[in-house]
Every structure is written in C-alpha cells, then in structure tokens.
Amino acid sequence: MILVTGANGFVGSALVQRLTADSSLCDVVVTLRRKDILWPKGVKSVQIGDLLSTTDWSKALEEVNAVVHCAARVHVMHDSTKDHLEIYRQVNVLGTLNLARQAAKAGVRRFVFLSSIKVNGEITQPGLPFTADDVPAPMDPYGISKQEAEHGLLKIAKQTGMELVIVRSPLVYGPGVKANFASMMRWIDLGLPLPFGAIHNSRSLVAIDNLVNMLITCLKHFSAPGQIFMVSDGRDLSTTELLQHTAEAMGKKIILLPAPTSWLKFCATLIGKRAVSQRLCGFLQVDIEKTRRMLGWTPPFTLEQGIKKTVEAMKR
C-alpha cells in the first residue's frame, strides 16, 4: 500500500490518478488536512490535519510499505512581521521529519520525497546545468526549508534503514497548472504584443505526466534508494520559445517584440519585480544524466505533448 501526502494538490492528485489507473500497482492511502473529496476506487482517505511536528500519522500509515511525500508549504500567503523561513520550516522541515520518523517506526520500506530545484539555487550559467551531486545553495526560504528537510531525511534513513529517494523538480506544468504558467497562457489568449521576443536563455521544465512517471519509477526501482535525482522533460527552452510553442498549441497568433533583456531587467527592477525578470530572462537548467543512467528513465512524454495537454485542459 502506498501513502501519498498532498493528494489534493497539483502533483499529488495527478500521482493518485495514475496509481489508481494501473491495476498492477498497490492500493493507495491519501491524507487530507480538512475536507474530504470523492476519490477513485481503491483509495483510502485519512484526515490528519496540518502537516506539523505534532501530527499523528498512525492511522494513515497502517499497512503502508511506501510513502510519496508531496505535501509542502509552497507560498506564504500574507506578508507579516513573522520570519518567513520559520513558517516554511514548521511544515517543510519539522512536519516532514515527523512523518518520516513515524513511517520508519511503522515499518515503511521506502520514502520518496518530492523536493525542489531551488535546493541547488535560482540560476545556472549557460551550459552548466545543476546536477544532483552539486553542493546545495538555496537562496530563498522555500529552498532552504527543502534543503534542510533533505538533510534531516538522510539522517533518519541512515539511522533507521528506511530507503530514501529524493527527487528535485524544476517548474511543473500540466492540466490545472496555476501561477506563472497559467498567467503566461492568459497573456497569449489576450493577443496583446509582448516584449519577450529576444530572450535567449535556457530553462528546464517538467510535464506533470513525466514527473508522476518518475516518482512511480522511484517507488519501484532497485537502484533508487539512497539517491538524489533530477527530473525534467529532457529538453530546455528559452522563454521566447516557450511562448511560441504554447501559442501554437492554443491556436493563437502571438506578437513578440524583440526588447533587449537588459531593458526588461531594468524596467522590472524599477517596479519591484526583479525576481520575475530573473525567471523570464535567466538560465535555470538541470542535468538528468544520472537519472537516465541509474534508473534507465527517459521522459515518456515530449514537451509538445505536455503543452498540448495543458492547453486542452485550459480550454475545457
């Protein structure tokens, strides 16, 4: 039996759908913070409340032999005087390690942790992608909390013998995607000219179906335990190329003005959006060679297929 945390989130819900669609895979347990929803046949749901250092996972872990931990705090919704790093730590570090300790005690054989490329950092140099063996260099509270969780999980795995697999993911897109990718599709849909026609960066993405396939591979593969893996679509794009591919999938004509990236960065800094300009213009590449070599894993879906599926879901 497999426990999936964060099952009503973007990645977790897609993983549960895939697990339940394959009759060769185990039954699934999902955990919820509050309100229950209708799950496919073969899914057991357990309400556990918030992911904290005091959460009791005993009911959710009954007869479970593997955990895929997707639940996390991704955003701090309201700015306040509180330390944002401490808010992230409560869930992403203390809550995660509490689950791992209880899982090991309950006899869980394998623990797959969905981490983030932000553990490596925010930017790469051209032609020098992040690898799984790089020294971590997180730069924001979310990335720091994920790195601290990885460190704590490695300790628990060493102490208890529970098999640990860590998967670091870049931006995930697919049906139901929100945030920046959804905003990009809205820009294209409006048909307004966009000043992003001369951005020559490279960024790695991963389609939700590819990420789910990778997580399931990590559940089963004999070489996965004790490793950190990168995941992506295996093909990097510039922001300009991504806009063009998405517009084509949407059947929309897009007007991209060739504004210099230096001008875009300057304007973004003036209005307090420097981080946004970094995501639009900067490089952020990951190397999945270790993943290919050790797991024999190749992304089963192309970038074009992933974008097409995302657009079709938006239209529905």
> What domains does the chain contain, in order, with CATH numbers?
2-173+205-232 (3.40.50.720)
By C-alpha distance, which of 264, 207, 254 is closest to 232?
207
Ranked by mean pLDDT, the top range of 16-30, 63-77, 261-275, 295-309 is: 295-309
Q: Looking at residue 177, what is its pLDDT?
A: 86
Give 267's contacts (C-beta < 8 A, 6+ positions apart). Answer: 277
| pLDDT higher than threshold 80 for residue 169 | yes
pLDDT digits (tens, 9 = 90+) for 300-309: 999 999 999 9
Q: How far is CA 56 from CA 48, 102, 104, 157, in A?
A: 7, 8, 14, 20
Flag whether pLDDT at 77 surpasses 60.
no
Q: Which of 22, 100, 32 is nearest to 66 (CA)?
A: 100
Determine the pLDDT at residue 25: 55
181-190 pLDDT tens trace: 888 888 898 8
Residue 104 reports pLDDT greater than 60: yes
Residues 6+ apart with CB under 8 A from 191: 252, 253, 254, 255
The whole-number pLDDT of residue 81 equals 39
What is the mean predicted confidence (pLDDT) over 98-126?
Answer: 96
> What pLDDT sits at residue 79?
46
- The yes-or-no verdict on residue 57 having pLDDT over 70 is yes
- Classify burial at 43, counting beta carbons within 10 Å of its beta carbon; exposed 0-12, middle 13-18, buried 19 or more: middle
Lowest mean pLDDT among 28-42, 165-179, 254-268: 28-42
Least confident of 37-46, 112-121, 228-237, 244-253: 37-46
Helices (H) and strands (E) in the chain, counts: 11, 9
pLDDT band at 37 (very low <50, low <70, confident <90, very high): low
User: How confident is the prediction for the chain on average, in pLDDT?
Assistant: 90
CB 171, CB 307: distance < 8 Å? no
pLDDT-above-90 percentage for the chain: 66
Tokens representing 232 are: 């992506």
> pLDDT over 70 for what percent of the chain?
95
* Token duo for residue 224: 């996965």
Give the SS3 label for residue 289: helix
Q: Which residue has the tokens 């895939």?
A: 18
Asked if residue 163 has pLDDT above 90, the reply is yes
The one catalytic residue in 57, 111, 113, 142 is: 142
Q: State residue 76's pLDDT score.
A: 62
Residue 125 or 262, more confident? 125
- The verdict on whether 142 is a catalytic residue reads yes
Helix (H) or strand (E) holding 32: strand 28-32
* DSSP secondary structure, 46-77, as one string: EE--S--TT---TTTTTT--EEEE--------
| Confidence class for position 24, pLDDT limits 50, 70, 90 | low
Dihedral angle of Cα 284, 288, 290, 292, to the nearest 10 degrees: 180
